[in-house]
Amino acid sequence: MNTKIILASTSVYRKEILEKLQLPFDCLSPNVDESPIKGETAQALVLRLAKAKAVAGAKLYNTINNNLDTHKKDVNNNPETKLDKISYIKSGSNEIQPAVIIGSDQVAVIDGKIVGKPHSSDKAIKQLQQASGKAITFYTGLSVIHSQTLQAFSLIEPFTVHFRELTLAEITRYVELEQPLYCAGSFKAEGLGIALFEKLEGDDPNTLIGLPLIKLIQLLKKHDIQVL
């Protein structure tokens, strides 16, 4: 039986990145508390949350499948019972389809401090003023867990953005145009945010958007899933 791929995220950007691999997958919301623990480093935070999201996704996937499996058995005993056509159970089989669940989390660090999402234009402008002429390092935690064996492989991938010297007018104009209010660091690298940078430093530009594909391919291979 083929192994299903589940992305434990509701992020549109992570979904778009994963689609580059041209593998079928579904998305689940992991519903994990992302609050940092006092004294926790950025690296420890993203690794913990990536693992937590993958585990939560696996539990949710298994719960859905167990409920559907029970429902399917009820249908066999009572043909009048309706069974919704949901892809989590392989058609024509009572066996639950195994899956690998991908969890990912990312934070940005500038001047040794974690930078969150601004949530307002004023805070976005202040964040970009702080970043002007400096480097921001993004740490992305990645975890891939098997739904049945619960075997997990996890890692942390860094990526650094070097900002050019920015004027207040440039910053204000950028925030007005792109409204990066829910992006750590107050920019969208996949959009106009590229105009803010002097250079990028890292192994995989997808990491900056939230999902390091090169490392993900390696972790999927550990679960016997080949991209090519």
Q: Which pLDDT tens digit goes with each residue over 149-208?
A: 999 999 999 999 999 999 999 999 999 999 999 888 899 988 999 999 999 999 999 999
Helix residue spans in the chain (DSSP H): 12-18, 42-77, 121-131, 168-178, 206-209, 213-222
* 184 closest CA partner among 154, 214, 210, 216: 210
Active-site annotation holds for 74? no
Q: Share the mean pLDDT of the chain.
A: 88
Whether 30 shows a pLDDT value over 60: the answer reads yes
Phi first, then psi: what are they for 32, rounded to 5°? -115, 135
Residue of 33, 105, 204, 224 marked active site: 105
* 3 closest CA partner among 18, 24, 20: 24
Domain positions in the chain = 4-222
Determine the topology of domain 4-222 in CATH. Answer: Maf protein (3.90.950)
Report pLDDT digits (tens) over 54-106. 999 999 999 988 776 554 444 344 444 333 333 444 444 556 789 999 999 99
Mean pLDDT calculated for residue range 112-118: 89
Mean pLDDT calculated for residue range 47-55: 98
Q: What is the DSSP letter of 199?
A: E
Cα–Cα distance for residue pair 228/213, rounded to 1 Å: 14
Cα–Cα distance for residue pair 179/124, rounded to 1 Å: 9
> Could you tell me the pTM of the whole model?
0.85
